[in-house]
Structure 1
Amino acid sequence: MIKKAQENDIRGLQELYAKTYSPQFVAHYFTSVFKPFNTYVIKDNTAIVSTLAVHRHPVWLNGKKINVSYLNFLFTAYEYRSLNYTETMISEVMEEMIYNDLLTFISCADAQPFISWDFHNIYQRKSYLLSRNQLPVYSQFGITADVPIGELTNLYQHFMCYFDGYRHRDKDYYQNKLQEISATGRKLIGCFNRQNDLEGYLIYDPKTDPLEIKEIIYLNSGALLKLLSYVLNQARVIKFTLSAGENLARIIPTAIYNTNDQLMVRMNDLELFNRLYGSDIKSVSEAFRMSGKPVNFNEEY
């Protein structure tokens, strides 16, 4: 019943994705990201009625880079949900993941059918709404849309030194990210200091209301405030998330947030994990506490 997608399934998959994502995102995803062998489908005759994508990423955890599977784009057509297609899809895909990857991630928004597979809440994010009157107007000196890929890569690596459980990113990653930003109408701006060193960048979507920031990476509070102030010059209210380990209240005391579960994680082979790390942990939660650092993972797919 469940099969790997074929090239002739792309149109049907695009129609499913278009129910949730913008036409620009769907066009970019199927042009630059989609791989049939990473996508599973269930069909009723020729129509795709359920699908799930598996993306594999290198993730840094307690000083080691390991490969994880990230399950997302889980869709089942409404009229087929009573037929347990979602559960069937998950069961067969997870049987494969158990033997392929040490850890499997899934967004909490998709996680309910996965609970029986021993997934645990590991990642949380703080969701903010910020208005112009909560932040002074800062100088736009050093704010530019012209940011070299190498500097984006280096900045991300420096920022993530304070975290664990984050995706490894290289220049190829940021080359693809810039293509995605261009294709979807999003924008990236960087903040340089007077020595022309990059101290922060953010990615935002000017078409959204409230204006939505997709990612903020920064080295200090000054860069963060300047970047937030810049986008608040364009919108009355902005919306963004930060990892649970970041404390915006220290520099914007009026900033109020909600904490939401973001990702669940399954340990696929505890014995192998302990051999790899020389540890004696008993759960996936312990694995993500080993370094003592807060976790941070901000990937759409």
Structure 2
Amino acid sequence: MILDHSYGKEKEIRRLIARSCLHMDSLDVSAWMKYKYDPSGMFCAVEDKKIVACLQTKKRTFFYQGKACEALVLSLACTLPDYRQRGYFSELLEACMNYAACNHLITLAYTNFPKLLESKSFQPVSSTKYYWLEMENWNQGYAQHVQIYRPDIDLYPLYHEFLSHFDGSIRLDPQEFQNAIRLYLNCNHRVITAVDDQRELRGFAIYRINKEHIEIQILVYLDADAILDCFAYLKERCQTLSFIVSNQERFDKLFPMEIPRKQGTVLARLNNYKLFSVWSKENVHHAKEAFAALKKPIWNHMID
């Protein structure tokens, strides 16, 4: 049986995620339940009188060529180990797509496993790149331009300005953005901000430390100096540094000798291509055509 919500089942969902998502420790699970869990968008598969699989979806604002609509975003999916390979994810996804077809023009997902979604008419429209840098001889940027994030610092205007350079992208509202920041902070991540000589915000980085390595999860910036300043600050705290950026961000100009590897994939599905064409004023039949019509690059790896 498939449920289209999980009201009253928070404890069961918490146990399911803790047992299924081995990459999440108890702190991660608690933070996710506090800042990401939404019972109204949680599809659940019930077997043997218990929830054995779930699919969290979120309603988000999608911007396309100056227009905005409500999109559905796939956020998290998991299945109890003993119930895997039984088709529960496909059933959940089918129920989710039936719902989306009646309520949303487009559905988006960012994942490292795109094949699972491509079988359901999702199409890859962008990807992310993963860079790994040795920091021993790093000598660019100014660490004194970087400060540790404080709750009284409003990062949203910077995020909003950064996204104005992109299109075909999810833009979080202030509360959604703040919840995302709080989630990272509650999962042992740290946030630093880069400022210019007038102490104006120019960028921020969300990262976590793993022994001698630092992994940047989110990098937002208004110029190259903000990137280099953040890296100069982090250089004093690690031997190696990795970060993820969208495929359209031209980091090859900053690091011409570094060869990134592909990381995640952004997939999209037009739930009704005719309605999307009317709304967008673009004659498209599928997601790839819709995104190919864009004049600006895409940034969609902070969407849920």
Work out whether the TM-score is over 0.5.
yes
Whether the aligned pair in 1 keeps the contact of 2:266 and 2:301 (CA below 8 Å) is no
Shift of 1:275: 1.1
Alignment partner, residue 3 of structure 1: 3
Q: Could you say what secondary structure the match of 2:299 adopts?
A: coil
Spell out the pairing of 1:127-142 with structure 2 (5 A cutoff): 127-133=130-136, 135-136=138-139, 138-142=141-145
CA distance in 2, matches of 1:46, 1:9: 13
Unaligned runs of 5+ in 1: none
CA contact (8 A) 1:72 1:110 kept: no
Mark the CA change 1:82 to 1:144 in structure 2 (over 3 Å): closer, same or farther.
Answer: closer
1:217 matched to 2:232? The reply is: no
Paired position in structure 1 for 2:31: 28
Question: Which residue does the alignment assign to 1:193?
Answer: 196
Answer 1 or 2: which has greater helix percent. 1
User: Equivalent residues in 2 for 1:78-93 (5 A)?
Assistant: 78-93=81-96
In the alignment, the residues of structure 2 paired with residue 263 and residue 163 of structure 1 have an alpha-carbon distance, to the nearest angstrom, of 14
> 2-side partners of 1:136 and 1:183: how far apart?
32
Q: 2:259 is matched with which residue?
A: 256
Q: Report the TM-score, using the length of structure 2 for normalisation.
A: 0.90
- What residue number does 1:237 align with? 240
Distance 1:164 1:148 in 2: 29
Query: Residue 58 of structure 2: which of 34, 55, 58 is its match?
Result: 55
Aligned mates of 2:234, 2:51 — CA distance in 1: 40
Say whether the 8 Å CA contact 1:58–1:167 is kept in structure 2.
Answer: yes
- Aligned residue for 1:136, secondary structure, equals coil
State the SS of the aligned residue for 1:297: coil
| Counterpart residue number, 2:293 | 290
Instruction: Go from structure 1 to structure 2 and tell me whether the alpha carbon gap of 1:265 and 1:34 turns closer, same or farther (over 3 Å shift).
Output: same
Q: Structure 1 164/103 Cα, relative in aligned 2: closer, same or farther at 3 Å?
A: same
The answer to whether the aligner puts 1:268 opposite 2:271 as a matched pair is: yes
Give the length in aligned residue pairs.
Answer: 301
Q: Is the 8 A contact 1:134 1:254 kept in 2?
A: no
Q: Tell me how far apart the structure 2 counterparts of residues 55 and 196 of structure 1 sit (CA, whole Å).
A: 36
1:116 aligned to 2:119? yes
Whole-Å separation in 2 of the counterparts to 1:6 and 1:162: 37
1:17 corresponds to which residue? 17
Cα distance between partner residues in 2 of 1:5 and 1:203: 31
Match in the other structure for 2:78: 75
Name the Cα RMSD after superposition: 2.2
What is the distance in 2 between the residues matched to 1:76 and 1:88? 12
Shift of 1:80: 2.0
What is the CA-CA distance between 1:159 and the residue it aligns to?
Answer: 1.7
SS class of match (1:194):
coil
Q: Which of 165, 175, 181 is the aligned partner of 1:172? A: 175
- Take 1:253 and 1:133, find their aligned partners in 2: how far apart are those partners? 18
CA–CA separation in structure 2 for the residues paired with 1:66 and 1:208: 42
**Aligned partners of 1:268, 1:276: CA distance in 2, in Å?**
13
Superposed CA deviations along residues 39-72 of structure 1, whole A, max 9, x for unmatched, are 1112223332111111111021111111111113
Question: Equivalent residue of 1:24, what SS?
Answer: helix
Alignment-mate amino acid for residue 16 of structure 2: L
Q: 1:108 offset after TM fit, Å?
A: 3.6
Letter of the 2:165 partner, please give it. Y
Name the SS for the 2:143 alignment partner: coil
Higher mean displacement: 43-52 or 105-114: 105-114
Quick one: which amino acid aligns to residue 101 of structure 2? I
- Give the whole-Å Cα distance in 2 for the aligned partners of 1:273 and 1:30: 33
- Runs of at least 5 residues in structure 2 that lack an aligned partner in the other structure: none
Residue deviations 1:194-234, cap 9 Å, x none?
A: 11211111111124763211111111111111111212221
Going from structure 1 to structure 2, the CA distance change for 1:4 and 1:284 (only over 3 Å counts) comes to: closer
Note the alpha carbon deviations across 1:234-270, whole angstroms, 9 max, x for none. 1111121111111222122232201244121100111
Q: Structure 2 counterpart of 1:91, which letter? A: E
CA distance in 2: counterparts of 1:85 and 1:206, whole angstroms: 35
Q: Which moved more, 1:112-121 or 1:243-252?
A: 112-121
SS in 2 for 1:299: coil
TM-score normalized by the length of structure 1: 0.91
Cα–Cα, structure 1 residues 190 and 31, in superposed 2: closer, same or farther, change >3 Å?
Answer: same
Moved more, 79-88 or 145-154: 145-154
Of 117-126 and 77-86, deviating more is 77-86
